[in-house]
Amino acid sequence: MALEWEQRRSDFPMLSKTVHGHPLIYFDSAATAQKPEVVIDAITDFYRDHYGTVHRAIYELARFSTLEYCHVRDKARSFLNARKSEEIIFTRGTTESINMVAYSFGKAFVKPGDEVIVSTIEHHSDIVPWQILCEDRGAILKVIPVDDRGDLLLDELKNLLSPRTKIVAVNHVSNALGTLNPIQDIVQMAHAAGAKVLVDGAQAAPHMRVDVQDLDCDFYVFSGHKAFGPTGIGILYGKEELLNAMPPYQGGGDMIETVTFEKTTYNTLPLKFEAGTPMIAEVIGLGAAIDYLQGIGMDKMHAREQELLAYGTEQIQTVDGLRIIGNARKKGAIISFVVDGVHALDIGTMLDLKGVCVRTGHHCAQPTMRRFGVTATARASFAFYNTFAEIDQFVAHLQAVVHQLKR
């Protein structure tokens, strides 16, 4: 098994690089994942040998592009186990997907005095669009608190839910803490109150098997670049009946059926939500990434990353004065930490000189930072292509950095 993971590393050209004269140790996959050669090749091949637009022409290149583009939609349907390919909307990423739902669902269903619920540990992209919606519609934003470990307080969610609650928006895995939320429980509670649920899967879909029918969530979103694919492409899954009831997010080509100056009628799903020339090459790249992930097996990948998390959590606590922020009972492969007397930015800067890439700052989760009484953390996030030896080297470098900064 160890040999298999070592062989997988060779699929990623970036992992053989050096930084400041040191072998690259890439521990920032929660921000964006490195790309396997097959994804790079798929994009290059498309641009070099097959490039054409989609939906709008009869010539061979356009037919090929359209077939490949539509095929990726079905790959995404299978990846999430959606019922129909029409429930898969291509977007620019998680952020646009959430904004699309906030605008369109809000326009269709949210009225003054209605309620939207988010959690304390959301990414800004799953807070700000709902704030904008509430300001626009005269709705009320409520917040699920978390305990000191970083677990959501579901009893408090039960108290927050009411007949006026229209939607609950929560992450599947927290980007700032690693908390793996009990989505099925949240969905059941929300549905019992008559509310819908959007799940931000940016940190989950690339690292574990996701079955939207089993979760029974109403919307599920993630970004291609975190799933070992290209930037500029994301997925919005929505239940068909909801998407049909929601107005378009943008107007333009492909989302129309007929246009006159008196009246425009809209296309059927999924094109109703895909205005303009789409991200064709990015979609092709995402399709290659999905093939690659499914070739590994999402359950096997998740198990590997949980091993890395357990080992990393044990080893990093040997560093003097270090405190992990976020010790939820179930976590994704993310370790956020602070060190007494040392700023996270200084840690990240010094580690970079050793070839180690970690994220520092508030991780677009300022409410989370305030809840835990810190302004910033350093964050190490793992993917299946990382190794135990890299963790050992990272911890050794971290110990030396902390010693140097405390002198």
Residue-wise pLDDT for 240-263, tens only, equals 999 999 999 999 888 888 999 999
Residue 4, pLDDT > 90, answer: no
Please report, for the domain that includes residue 253, its CATH number. Answer: 3.40.640.10
Rounded CA gap, 235 and 227, in Å? Answer: 11
Single residue among 275, 295, 315 that ends a domain in this structure: 295
378 part of a folded domain:
yes
58 part of a folded domain:
yes
Q: Which amino acid is at 54?
A: V
Catalytic option among 70, 217, 357, 364: 364
Single residue among 280, 295, 310 that ends a domain in this structure: 295
How many domains is the chain partitioned into structurally?
Answer: 2
Please report, for the domain that includes residue 385, its CATH number. Answer: 3.90.1150.10
Contact residues for 6 (Cβ-Cβ < 8 A; gap 6+): 387
Question: pLDDT (tens digit, 9 = 90+) per residue, 358-401?
Answer: 999 999 999 999 999 999 999 999 999 999 999 999 999 999 99
108, 163, 199, 342, 368 from 170: Cα distances, Å: 20, 19, 5, 32, 13
Q: What is the DSSP letter of 157?
A: H
Q: Do residues 286 and 314 both lie within one domain?
A: no
Range of the domain at 214: 41-295
Q: Which amino acid is at 85?
A: S
Mean pLDDT of 107-125: 98
Is the pTM of the predicted complex or chain greater than 0.95? yes
Q: Do residues 13 and 76 both lie within one domain?
A: no
Question: pLDDT (tens digit, 9 = 90+) per residue, 313-354?
Answer: 999 999 999 999 999 999 999 999 999 999 999 999 999 999
| Catalytic residue status for 364 | yes
270 part of a folded domain:
yes
320 part of a folded domain:
yes
Closest CA to 200 of 189, 186, 192, 191: 186
Alpha helices in 110-219 (DSSP H): 128-137, 154-160, 183-192, 212-215
Q: Do residues 151 and 235 both lie within one domain?
A: yes
For residue 61, what pLDDT band results from cuts at 50, 70 and 90?
Answer: confident
262 part of a folded domain:
yes
Maximum Cα interatomic distance, the chain, rounded to a whole number of Å: 74
Single residue among 279, 295, 311 that ends a domain in this structure: 295
36 part of a folded domain:
no
Q: Do residues 288 and 307 both lie within one domain?
A: no
Q: Do residues 303 and 243 both lie within one domain?
A: no
Mean pLDDT of 98-119: 98
Q: Do residues 269 and 388 both lie within one domain?
A: no
For residue 1, what pLDDT band results from cuts at 50, 70 and 90?
Answer: low
Q: Do residues 75 and 212 both lie within one domain?
A: yes
Q: Give the pLDDT of residue 59.
A: 86
Residue 100, pLDDT > 70, answer: yes
Question: pLDDT (tens digit, 9 = 90+) per residue, 145-192?
Answer: 999 999 999 999 999 999 999 999 999 999 999 999 999 999 999 999
Q: Do residues 307 and 272 both lie within one domain?
A: no
Rounded CA gap, 336 and 328, in Å? Answer: 12
Q: Do residues 314 and 165 both lie within one domain?
A: no
Q: Give the pLDDT of residue 185.
A: 98
Residue 55, pLDDT > 90, answer: no
Q: Do residues 352 and 206 both lie within one domain?
A: no
Closest CA to 15 of 400, 23, 7: 23
Q: Which amino acid is at 182?
A: P
34 part of a folded domain:
no
Q: Do residues 207 and 266 both lie within one domain?
A: yes
Sign of CA dihedral 309, 310, 315, 316: positive
Q: Do residues 23 and 87 both lie within one domain?
A: no
35 part of a folded domain:
no
Question: pLDDT (tens digit, 9 = 90+) per residue, 255-311?
Answer: 888 999 999 999 999 999 999 999 999 999 999 999 999 999 999 999 999 999 999
Q: At 76, which helix (H) or strand (E)?
A: helix 60-80
Rounded CA gap, 284 and 315, in Å? Answer: 39
